[in-house]
Amino acid sequence: MEYTQLGRTGLKVSRLVLGTMNFGPHTDEAGSHAIMDAALGAGVNFFDTANVYGWGENKGRTEEIIGSWFAKGGDRRDKVVLGTKVYGDMSADGNPWPNHNKISALNIRRSVEASLRRLGTDHIDIYQFHHIDRDTPVEEIWQAVDTLIQQGKILYAGSSNFPGWKIAQANEAARRRGSYGLVSEQCLYNLIERRAEMEVIPAAREYGLGVIPWSPLHGGILGGILGKAAGGGRRSAGMGAERLKQPGMRQRIQAYEDLLDKHGLEPGEVALAWLLTRPGITGPIVGPRTGEQLASAVRAVSLELSGELLAALEEIFPGTGPSPEAFAW
């Protein structure tokens, strides 16, 4: 497994991030433990979760599954760089009381304590804001974060789904306070969805944030969806099926799969490997439901893409161009 330094921190993390969003809803506790064991055995040391994972009435269940895995011992917790998130409504009925969601100082305090209990640990390595909060002053957020760092309950703060301007605002506010600021950003980024190249990734690189792309297969349609359906495998459904309906998308995906079939490569592995060639990227988040899916993702880390193949991918999925030149007419 390849490793890199997470932004401007001293943390060494794997270039593949284990996303746990399927633990509970789609993979039971025993299966989730097996995937985490396999990931750690393969050298994946960066695990990502969120307080809302488990969804619906089972919000928090994913953190509990990770906590029960840590409780098995074997230095599991010490070997993992653990990230979780705060923002979403944690009430079972979806009707929160005031201050029970988003990232006010009060909810940050409550949410950290609840996540620590579910995870069965005394600290969180990367505590991430799942979305921006337009109602809470950024100075209040940093005051809460600094307190948690002083208490040893978190090491660093990160963001998710932040626009470029919010990354800049947050880190400039941190600088004024003498706070450390954001060290990572999770953003939607893949071969199809490349808008992050315009401002989010440049802002992250300017401020020394590691970039952790989510949905690297764009809801599954970069994972060989057409070939699987034609071969009698799992048919496109849900998010993937809807995205295939976008104008010209099916044709682009067919060209993508035909290209990789010619090279004897797996589409999902190429989509992950492509992200690892992009400037500023720490590693993509994968959310395996099975051990086979994890093994495929691990193979992608050592997959080398030729210049010819990269150029062909660029023709099928052209990028936005560098910022600010891309904004010009």
Q: Residues 39-60: what's their mean pLDDT?
A: 96
pLDDT, tens digit (0-9, with 9 covering 90-100), for 247-257: 889 999 999 99
Instruction: Give the distance, in angstroms, between the CA of residue 232 and the centroid of all CA atoms in the same chain.
Output: 30
User: Whole domain around residue 98: which residue ranges?
Assistant: 3-223+267-307
CATH number at residue 132: 3.20.20.100
Give me the numbers of helices (H) and strands (E) for the chain, helices first please. Answer: 13, 10
Asked if the structure places residue 260 within a domain, the reply is: no
Asked if the structure places residue 319 within a domain, the reply is: no
**pLDDT for the residue 117:** 98
Asked if the structure places residue 176 within a domain, the reply is: yes
Asked if the structure places residue 245 within a domain, the reply is: no
**pLDDT for the residue 231:** 62
Asked if the structure places residue 321 within a domain, the reply is: no
pLDDT, tens digit (0-9, with 9 covering 90-100), for 88-125: 999 877 777 888 889 999 999 999 999 999 999 999 99
Please, which pLDDT band fits residue 329 given cuts at 50, 70 and 90?
low
Task: Kindly tell me if the per-residue pLDDT of 232 is higher than 80.
Answer: no
Average pLDDT over all residues of the chain? 94
Lowest mean pLDDT among 10-19, 91-100, 163-172, 285-294: 91-100
pLDDT, tens digit (0-9, with 9 covering 90-100), for 55-68: 989 999 999 999 99
Residue 127 designated active-site: no
Please pick, among 3, 53, 127, 180, the residue that the annotation labels catalytic.
Answer: 53
Please, which pLDDT band fits residue 199 given cuts at 50, 70 and 90?
very high
**pLDDT for the residue 65:** 98
Strands (DSSP E) along the chain, which ranges? 3-5, 12-14, 17-19, 46-48, 81-86, 124-129, 154-160, 182-188, 210-214, 285-286
128 with 184: CB under 8 angstroms? Answer: yes
Asked if the structure places residue 243 within a domain, the reply is: no
Asked if the structure places residue 88 within a domain, the reply is: yes
- CA–CA dist 95, 22 (Å, integer): 24
Instruction: Give the chain's domain count.
Output: 1
177 with 155: CB under 8 angstroms? Answer: no
Instruction: Find the farthest-apart pair of alpha carbons in the chain and give their distance in angstroms, rounded.
Output: 58
Asked if the structure places residue 102 within a domain, the reply is: yes
pLDDT, tens digit (0-9, with 9 covering 90-100), for 133-160: 999 999 999 999 999 999 999 999 999 9
185 with 158: CB under 8 angstroms? Answer: yes
Q: Residues 234-243: what's their mean pLDDT?
A: 63
pLDDT, tens digit (0-9, with 9 covering 90-100), for 296-325: 999 999 999 999 999 999 999 999 887 888
